[in-house]
Structure 1
Amino acid sequence: MNTDTTPRNFKKAKLLVVEDNADHWYVIESVLKQQLPEVEVIWMSDAAKTMTYLNDCKSKLHILPKVILLDLYLPSSQEGLNLLQAIKSKNSSFHHIPTIVLSHSSDATDISRCYETGSSSYIIKPTLIQQWVDYFKEFRRYWWNIVSLPDPQYQ
């Protein structure tokens, strides 16, 4: 019988945030630390660093992130889409990781292209701090308390 009371999704949990804007990262990090204090939050500022990090995790048998939050405009939407495609392609070792796109863009084409490329969700970035807090409360509830994510050793 397992007596560990740690919720399954929090065990050795990492959350990767790909955000090129340092001000946005600061807000995201501070709210995530409030809402997900048990989770190690990792920041990458561009596509190349992100793929290097993920490949290093895989080759060194480190735990992969349970979820990726990806800013679409890195700084262009094409760069964000290229990274999303690299993560979600069938040949990728990372295609199973839920990848949530964050963007200020509400453009229907951006949204459609992200879902077509494999995004698990598309979230329009809030503009107020309280909206960020509310968003990440729901994020925690859904992605960490409701959804069953794969154990890190199977990733």
Structure 2
Amino acid sequence: MKRIETSVQANLRNAKVLIIEDSEDQWLLMSQAMQQCLPEVMPVRVATIQQAMTRLEEWCYQEWEIPKLIILDLYLPQRVDGWQLLAWIKAMPAAINLIPVVMFSSSADPADIDQAYASGIAAYLVKPTQFAAWLTYFQELRSFWWETASLPPLSLGL
């Protein structure tokens, strides 16, 4: 039991999640659900590919700022934009390219899901339409990513 508590404490220490979401409406639902389910985790939201690239490049030199998880919308606003950003993230230096990426999308297309996993994401979730379902998603996200999984320590290896 002590090991689990230590892992959870390590996961939540300086916990930050990068959310790449271009829709203000979706961001509002996500941020409210996160506040209720993950109050100790600081969400950092960017709305464009350029903002995401700038933030991640800054974090390459600021090890203490690196998020423990990235939530990426596939349509930013076009589908191709999400794929390009994911490829760019995966091509970044360690430890940025090792951050688990969870893709949230309104698309339930099996081709999108297959391509996302083939591109190296950790999980693919279809965006819910009701706030109660967002709460369930973020509670499950908390349970798995913050309380069950052992996340790698933040280290750029410089």
Normalised by the length of structure 1, the TM-score is 0.91
2:43 to 41, 44, 51: 41
CA RMSD, aligned part only?
1.7
Task: State the SS of the aligned residue for 1:113.
Answer: helix
Instruction: Indicate whether 1:105 and 2:107 are aligned.
Output: yes
Partner SS for 1:23: helix
State how 1:29-108 maps to structure 2 within 5 Å.
29-89=31-91, 91-93=92-94, 94-108=96-110
Q: Is the 8 A contact 1:72 1:103 kept in 2?
A: yes
Query: Contact 2:63–2:154 at 8 Å: present in 1 too?
Result: no
2: CA distance between counterparts of 1:48 and 1:27? Answer: 23
Distance 1:134 1:74 in 2: 24
Indicate the percent of aligned positions where both proteins have the same amino acid. 36
1:152 aligns with 2:154: yes
4+ long deviations beyond 4 Å:
none
For the 8 Å contact 1:86–1:92, the answer to whether it is kept is no
Give the TM-score, by structure 2 length: 0.89
Provide structure 2 residue ranges, at least 5 long, that are not aligned to the other structure. none
Alignment: residue pair count: 151
| One-letter amino acid of the counterpart of residue 131, structure 2 | I
Gaps of 5+ in 1: none
Matches within 5 A, 1:122-133: 122-133=124-135
Q: For residues 97 and 60 of structure 1, what CA distance do their matches in structure 2 show?
A: 15
Matching residue's letter, 2:39: P
Q: What amino acid does structure 1 have at the position aligned with 2:25?
A: D
Amino acid at match of 2:98: H
Contact 1:63–1:153 at 8 Å: present in 2 too? no
**Cα distance in 1 between the residues matched to 2:142 and 2:29:** 16
Bigger fraction of residues in helix: 2
Deviation at 1:61, TM superposition (A): 3.7
Structure 1 window deviating more from structure 2 (103-112 vs 57-66): it is 57-66
